[in-house]
Amino acid sequence: TEGSPIPVLTVPTAPYEDQRPAGGGGLRRPTGLFEGQRNYLPNFIQSVLSSIDLRDRQGCTMVVGSDGRCFSRTAIEIVVQMAAANGIGRLIIVQNGILSTPAVSCIIRKIKAAGGIILTASHCPGGPGGEFGVKFKVANGGPAPDVVSDKIYQISKTIEEYAICPDLRIDLSRLGRQEFDLENKFKPFRVAKSMKVPVYETPAGWRFFSNLMDSGRCNLCGEESFGTGSDHLREKDGLWAVLVWLSIIAARKQSVEEIVRDHWAKFGRHYYCRFDYEGLDPKTTYYIMRDLEALVTDKSFIGQQFAVGSHVYSVAKTDSFEYVDPVDGTVTKKQGLRIIFSDASRLIFRLSSSSGVRATLRLYAESYERDPSGHDQEPQAVLSPLIAIALKISQIHERTGRRGPTVIT
């Protein structure tokens, strides 16, 4: 690719009430509806992409195919433009975009893709007066389970905008790799992308790792509290972690500091800290989280800028994190409020019940630094502007009477 990065646009839209997927995550309607109704296809594609958690979506691989019926080429172009704008790192598309449903399923499983989109109305006749459809395949290559279809439908009923790269053009007739440089808001997971392995972001708790390990999707897992383990058991294992580090040191013939600095030089450094406010009144923490959710999930919060000293942070995305288990489709909701800024920095607020009568409110701050000259800073100095923003919008100190956190990690 040459020249400036392709811009990512956010296009306002309005929901349609008739986009409930049929069994298996598919939407089948008259071709004229997809062609003639404004944003009808983009709305559904955005709902499908938004049903995949942000962390699973960024930098992942998906498969796209069609049965070649009327409107397929135009639809494939829209899917590609929207997938790129939503952070999908790689799309597998065969020449001319024609790929059967079983073939899509086979490729998803063979390359361990995050899923696939098939443009087909199955046995229904195509053509301008016929039918057109969109099917969503999940990571196991099968149809979307009901919980995923329900999530797609709920998103489609409240959608207000979609992301697209209208200037991105692919040549479906040409074999080979086609690469594009995008002005994407979110960065792929700078390490996983290099090693070509998937990343799964789960809620807190090792019970969420178990399904992934039992299904063969991962064999290394870790918590933000630094507990790590592998698939030889279903808990953190400190002795295993020590042995892994000793093995790495022996193989690399470097000190821990040298290994870490080499890692930073190649992938950049993530600065991170966590503030724990322990022993709080549960009623107070409930209202803090309720008011925060109302604030950060309001559409007007997107694009807001916060200036702290010489730093200016612009809000790119917010959500109340929910996890859809890729193995059994179980949905776990309200796992933290996330604010993601345009430079990939982020804040997270999460409520944790520490006992039957008291509660713990956790505040997380994370910032990415690619420039090696910025790799030797103190984490709290780097993150202090983000912490200031978090305290300002949450009013934690004012509403709890605390002067600071109980624990800082």
CATH code (residue 319): 3.30.310.50
Across residues 28-37, what is the average pLDDT? 94
Highest mean pLDDT among 52-56, 154-158, 214-218, 404-408: 154-158
For residues 143 and 105, give the distance between their C-alpha atoms in angstroms, rounded to a whole number. 9
Q: Is residue 198 part of a domain?
A: no
Mean pLDDT of the chain: 88
For the entire predicted model, the pTM comes to 0.59
- 122 an active-site residue? yes
Q: Rg for the chain (alpha carbons), in Å? A: 23
In this structure, the answer to whether residues 157 and 98 fall within a common structural domain is yes
- In this predicted structure, the answer to whether residue 214 has a pLDDT above a threshold of 90 is no
Contact (Cβ atoms closer than 8 angstroms) between residue 348 and residue 364: yes
Pick from 164, 194, 219: which residue ends a domain? 164
pLDDT at 355: 54
For 289-341, the pLDDT digits (tens) are 999 999 998 888 988 999 998 888 999 888 888 887 877 777 888 889 999 98
Q: Is residue 186 part of a domain?
A: no
Q: Which domain holds residue 242?
A: 206-253
Pick from 253, 276, 311: which residue ends a domain? 253
For residues 202 and 183, give the distance between their C-alpha atoms in angstroms, rounded to a whole number. 27
CATH number at residue 97: 3.40.120.10
Reference 277, options 351, 176, 367; nearest CA is 351
Contacts of 189 by beta carbon, 8 Å cutoff, 6+ apart = 55, 58, 59, 199
What's the total number of domains in the chain? 3
In this structure, the answer to whether residues 296 and 372 fall within a common structural domain is yes
Helices (H), 53-185: 54-57, 72-85, 101-111, 146-158
Contact (Cβ atoms closer than 8 angstroms) between residue 392 and residue 313: no
pLDDT at 1: 42
In this structure, the answer to whether residues 70 and 155 fall within a common structural domain is yes
Q: Is residue 191 part of a domain?
A: no
pLDDT at 187: 47
Q: Is residue 33 part of a domain?
A: yes
Highest mean pLDDT among 13-27, 172-186, 205-219: 13-27
Q: Which residue carries 């995923």 as its tokens?
A: 148
- In this predicted structure, the answer to whether residue 9 has a pLDDT above a threshold of 90 is no
Q: Is residue 172 part of a domain?
A: no
What DSSP letter does each residue of 354-382 carry, written as one string? Answer: -SSS-EEEEEEEEEEE-SGGGTTS-HHHH
Pick from 220, 253, 286: which residue ends a domain? 253
- In this predicted structure, the answer to whether residue 344 has a pLDDT above a threshold of 60 is yes
Across residues 376-390, what is the average pLDDT? 93
In this structure, the answer to whether residues 280 and 230 fall within a common structural domain is no
- In this predicted structure, the answer to whether residue 25 has a pLDDT above a threshold of 50 is yes
pLDDT at 92: 94
Catalytic entry in 50, 51, 122, 255: 122
